[in-house]
Structure 1
Amino acid sequence: MSALNPTVQAYGELQAAFDYYNRALFGGELPFCLITMQREKRTYGYFSARRFVHRQDKSMTDEIALNPSYFGVVPLLEILQTIVHEMAHAWQLHFGEPGRRGYHNTEWAEKMEAIGLMPSRTGKPGGAKTGEKMADYAIGGGLFMLATAELLTTDFRISWLDRFPPVQPGVASILAGMEGGEDEEDSELAGMLSPVMVGGRSNREKYRCPSCKVQVWGKPGLSLLCGFDECKAARFELVGQ
């Protein structure tokens, strides 16, 4: 068990990432914001302008929210990309012209590209650069990757991981790789994570693929087949049965 206060450690790491990328990618121009963790469904994070107001002096601050549900099952690079993606929204609010609510416009897309993240509606090369719901991918040799490479030469990490990530094909694949991989630490960690169906586990049962050991929660009486090629449509079994 870590001797550090979990709240201080978890939020301190996120603040450290914000401070680092603010210096490395935004010239230290971004004002402070309130970083929160929110389990918003089907999103890694979001930016909310002037979301909080101070009770005494009535000053306002923006929010950058990150979804901790994915911290244990996506690469650290993706968590850092999410932070910088939302920081680009903060930059546009304070130094540019944001689009209508929820829309990622050309100015935002150009800033993202300038700091080394390629906006893409699909999250892959060739995707539209503007739109309502946008992903991105790191540009090889770009500023983000260079800055991140430098960050990862330090002892920076995201220490606290949600043990109950949401069930998605990508998450299941990552967990299967962790459990079957050569890294002993990853394999042990995977055994401590229990993917759950979005919406909670009330009146649900746990099922496990007998081949890759991926686990999911679902309503009683389901007949599930594993979709991984190597499992050859193995039928999920009730855990404990």
Structure 2
Amino acid sequence: MITTIQFKTLDDLFQFYNNRLFEGKLPECIVNMSRKGGSYGFFAADRWKGDSMQKKIIHEISINPDFMDRPDKEWHSTLVHEMCHLWQHDFGNPSRNCYHNKQLASKMIQVGLMPTDTGEPGGKQTGQQMSHYVIEGGLFDKVFNALGADELENLRLKYRPLPASFRMLPVPVPPPGKSADTEKAEDKEGDWEKSGKRKRYTCGCGNHVWGKSGLWIRCEECNMLFLED
């Protein structure tokens, strides 16, 4: 039931902005949530297909739930940003993967988002790594601000992510019979100094770092501790 409620809200948001900003012309799309490190969201073309009866190819838009604790207008604008990518894929001429060209910039401005490589006014409007800000008085701004209290409540996620400071973090557990202090003492005189061997650590979003055993390192992207493999 919780899953149904959560994803219905995402679908309702897609349909709402499709009707208000894109004249209802965007094709159906699976709106998903995934934690892609450091990204607010992304568009992925042709990622799903229907069953043997439909044989329909469907696009995906994914929003990073770690950034859904921002004000509604801000993370809604991320969804609209990715909807512009969908528009360009089906009705325009996209450049190489993820590149924001002039056509995409023009469409974003048309719907009320200013593309910028810095996230602030004055940044470049085209490029590989791009953000945006909401244009005051632009179409998106007007559509969002016109929402009544009841309408906004219906389009608001019923379950929001906890701030990173409240999440449970994994804690490395020393092998039986050894304390954390013992582990560190042995490591200091063991592999690292004598043989130069390094240990690999992995965080929650799959990034890796290497160093001596017993390190405590936190990933800035997923806010999880790197665990020694």
TM-score (norm 1): 0.67
Output one character per residue of 1:35-55: Cα deviation in whole Å (capped at 9) or x when no partner.
111111100110011111123
Q: Shift in Å at residue 163 of structure 1?
A: 2.6
CA contact (8 A) 1:164 1:196 kept: no
Q: Is 2:203 the partner of 1:199?
A: yes
**Structure 2 CA distance for aligned equivalents of residues 195 and 147 of structure 1:** 37
Residue of structure 1 in register with 2:76 after alignment: 80
Total equivalences in the alignment: 180
Residue from 55, 58, 66 that aligns with 2:55 = 58
Structure 1 alignment gaps of length 5 or more: 166-174, 176-192, 208-215, 220-241
Question: Does residue 44 of the first structure (1) align with residue 40 of the second (2)?
Answer: yes
Structure 2 residue aligned with 1:101: 97
**Partners of 2:117 and 2:131 within 8 A in 1:** yes
Separation in 2, partners of 1:90, 1:217: 32
Q: Does residue 1:160 correspond to 2:156, yes or no? A: no
Q: How many Å apart are 1:150 and its aligned residue?
A: 2.0
Q: Which residue of 26, 29, 40 maps to 1:30?
A: 26
Which ranges in structure 2 are unaligned for 5 or more consecutive residues?
171-201, 205-213
Is residue 2:16 matched to residue 1:20?
yes
1:151 alignment partner, one of 127, 131, 147:
147
Q: Which runs of 4+ in 1 moved over 4 A?
A: 195-198, 216-219
CA distance in 2, matches of 1:132, 1:195: 34
Q: Sort the Cα spacing of 1:161 and 1:93 in 2 relative to 1 into closer, same or farther, 3 A.
A: same
**Residue identity opposite 2:162 in structure 1:** R
In structure 2, C-alpha distance between the alignment counterparts of 1:122 and 1:115, rounded to whole Å:
20
Contact residue 46 and residue 59 of structure 2 kept, 8 A: yes
After TM superposition, the structure 1 stretch with the greater mean CA deviation from structure 2, 77-86 or 149-158, is 149-158
When the two chains are superposed, the root-mean-square deviation of aligned CA atoms in Å is 2.7
Q: Is the 8 A contact 2:43 2:62 kept in 1?
A: yes
How far does residue 76 in structure 1 lie from its aligned partner after superposition?
1.4
% of aligned pairs identical? Answer: 36
Helix, strand or coil at the partner of 1:50: strand
Q: Tell me if the contact between 2:203 and 2:224 (Cα under 8 Å) persists in the aligned partners.
A: no
Match of 1:7 among 3, 27, 42: 3
